[in-house]
Amino acid sequence: MTALVRTAAVTRTFGRGAAARSALRGVTLEVTAGELVALIGRSGSGKSTLLNIIAGLDAPTSGQVWVDGGEVTAMSSDERLRLRRETVAMIFQSFALMPVLSAAENVGVPMRLARMPAAAREERARDLLALVGLGGREQQRPYELSGGEQQRVAVARALANSPRLLLADEPTGQLDSATAAQIMGLLRTIIHAEGLTGIVATHDTGLMEIADRVVELRNGELVG
């Protein structure tokens, strides 16, 4: 099977001298296309740092990263931006929705940046909101939605430009257990149905049970 994501001996050190802290220590990982991987580990273990490096939001201190055949660690800033617009999408614990925009408008932001025509953008936003169970809620703003519904909007927004890789950083961290289970099930269904590859950093045992594979970071090192 083809590896959509590969990291080779990735390290990330913050600070210098006596104050230096190693967030990642030689992480080598392969994630197969179509796979849903749960990335687990205690707070501070390096999960978010690794996701940010894979997405090109941060650069490793050493090591290499490839996504969909392209070496992220050799890309220019414009190339990394294009990677995040076209290939990689991220979901965050905080939802990161724009409060002044409706659900449909939030979903439409990546498509607007990609210069998709308005009519096509609005149709796709409706379709994506229906896909995540929010059909008919297009005009509601984030403050009119529950936490779980806001995260569903965030999932729909992440799918807007048909990414190949979905990265989620503690996507259920602000949700109760029942809602978290729904979101985790939704992520698995969408990743497999849409042919995506997913890496989800989580403490949620529910995802560990439904993921194709579980990998653990401990003090910046991949274990197990």
pLDDT digits (tens, 9 = 90+) for 142-172: 999 999 999 999 999 999 989 999 999 988 8
**pLDDT given for residue 121 in this prediction:** 93
Which runs of consecutive H residues, i.e. helices, occur in 66-102?
77-86
Judge contact between 183 and 148, C-beta under 8 A: yes
User: Over the stretch 60-77, which tens digit does the pLDDT of each residue have?
Assistant: 999 999 999 999 999 999
Residue 197 has pLDDT above 70, yes or no: yes
Residue 25 has pLDDT above 80, yes or no: yes
**pLDDT given for residue 77 in this prediction:** 94
Nearest Cα neighbor of 169 from 48, 31, 27, 55 is 48
CA distance 10 to 24: 7
**pLDDT given for residue 210 in this prediction:** 84
Which runs of consecutive H residues, i.e. helices, occur in the chain?
47-54, 77-86, 103-113, 118-131, 147-158, 177-193, 205-210
Q: What percent of the chain is modeled with pLDDT above 90? A: 72
Nearest Cα neighbor of 207 from 222, 185, 192, 223 is 185
Residue 184 has pLDDT above 80, yes or no: yes
104-125 average pLDDT score: 93
DSSP SS3 for 167: strand
Residue 129 has pLDDT above 80, yes or no: yes
The β-bridge partners of 222 are 217
**pLDDT given for residue 201 in this prediction:** 92
CA distance 215 to 224: 7
Least confident among 21-25, 43-47, 92-96, 138-142? 92-96
pLDDT, the chain, mean: 92
